[in-house]
């Protein structure tokens, strides 16, 4: 069972994450993706970023924890949501962009490779990916989940077979240089 399918875990996360959103990251994506583009968010959680993305894009939210999907759907009955694993990305649908904010750090090495391969398959020609990661090189167990801290080089090397890098930058979410984002275009 996904960790966040336990309502207590999900509600604790929502409380802990209050005050954080991906607005500054999405503003960077906005410079590269046209209004109305079809965007898939992987690991939407409570949907804080999905709300922001929805102002400009034709969005589809997804997560592997049904609790988050059901919770968001109650408040947004018309939302387009799918239960999706960020590795398998098992859908026939295609998108112009795939976005995630602090999701892919849950994937171990091989799973991350497979995710990038499957993301490429779910994108239209020249489709974009935009993902944020925790920055570092350790693997940590926290709250019953695994966190793979990554370097920019590691991630850009892994996506290179499927994507051409547009840009990657280190930024601060809670502390200096604790995070980075990557943006790349399908080859």
Ligand X SMILES: C[S@@+](CC[C@H](N)C(=O)[O-])C[C@H]1O[C@@H](n2cnc3c(N)ncnc32)[C@H](O)[C@@H]1O
Task: Report if residue 4 touches ligand X, rule: CB under 6 A.
Answer: yes
Q: Return the residue of 25, 37, 103, 184 that touches ligand X, per CB under 6 A.
A: 103
> Which window, 25-33, 47-55, 119-127, 167-175, contacts ligand X (CB under 6 A)?
47-55
Distance CA(5)–CA(102), nearest Å, equals: 18
Distance CA(21)–CA(25), nearest Å, equals: 9
Q: Of 140-179, which residues contact ligand X (CB under 6 A)? A: none
Q: Return the residue of 11, 30, 80, 85 that touches ligand X, per CB under 6 A.
A: 85
Q: Shortest Cβ distance from residue 59 to ligand X (Å)?
A: 12
Q: What are the b/e assignments for 1-32, b being 16+ CB within 10 Å?
A: ebebeeeebbeebbeeeeeeebeebbebbbee
Q: Shortest Cβ distance from residue 9 to ligand X (Å)?
A: 9
Distance CA(21)–CA(31), nearest Å, equals: 18
Task: Report if residue 60 touches ligand X, rule: CB under 6 A.
Answer: no
Distance CA(148)–CA(140), nearest Å, equals: 7
Task: Report if residue 68 touches ligand X, rule: CB under 6 A.
Answer: yes
Q: Return the residue of 28, 48, 82, 168 that touches ligand X, per CB under 6 A.
A: 48
Task: Report if residue 63 touches ligand X, rule: CB under 6 A.
Answer: yes
Q: Return the residue of 87, 123, 128, 183 that touches ligand X, per CB under 6 A.
A: 87
**C-alpha distance from residue 67 to each of 57, 63, 119 (Å):** 24, 9, 23
- φ, ψ of residue 112 to 5 degrees: the values are -65, -45
The count of chain residues that interact with ligand X, using the rule CB under 6 A, is 22
Distance CA(97)–CA(29), nearest Å, equals: 9
Binding site for ligand X (CB under 6 A): 2, 4, 22, 42-49, 63-65, 68, 85-87, 101-103, 106
């Amino acid at each position: 069972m996904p960790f966040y399918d336990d309502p207590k875990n999900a509600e604790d996360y929502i409380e802990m994450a209050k005050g954080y959103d991906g607005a500054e990251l999405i503003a960077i994506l906005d410079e590269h993706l046209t209004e109305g583009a079809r965007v898939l968010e992987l690991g939407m959680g409570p949907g804080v970023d999905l709300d922001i993305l929805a102002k400009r894009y034709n969005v589809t939210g997804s997560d592997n924890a049904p609790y988050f999907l059901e919770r968001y759907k109650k408040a947004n009955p018309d939302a387009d949501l799918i239960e999706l694993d960020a590795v398998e990305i098992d859908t026939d649908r295609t998108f112009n962009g795939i976005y995630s904010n602090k999701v892919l750090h849950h994937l171990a090495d091989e799973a991350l490779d497979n995710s990038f391969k499957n993301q490429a398959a779910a994108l239209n020609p020249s489709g974009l990916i935009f993902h944020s990661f925790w920055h570092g090189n350790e693997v940590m167990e926290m709250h019953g989940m695994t966190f793979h801290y990554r370097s920019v080089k590691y991630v850009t090397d892994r996506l290179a077979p499927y994507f051409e890098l547009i840009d990657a930058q280190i930024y601060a979410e809670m502390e200096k240089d604790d995070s980075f984002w990557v943006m790349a275009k399908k080859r």
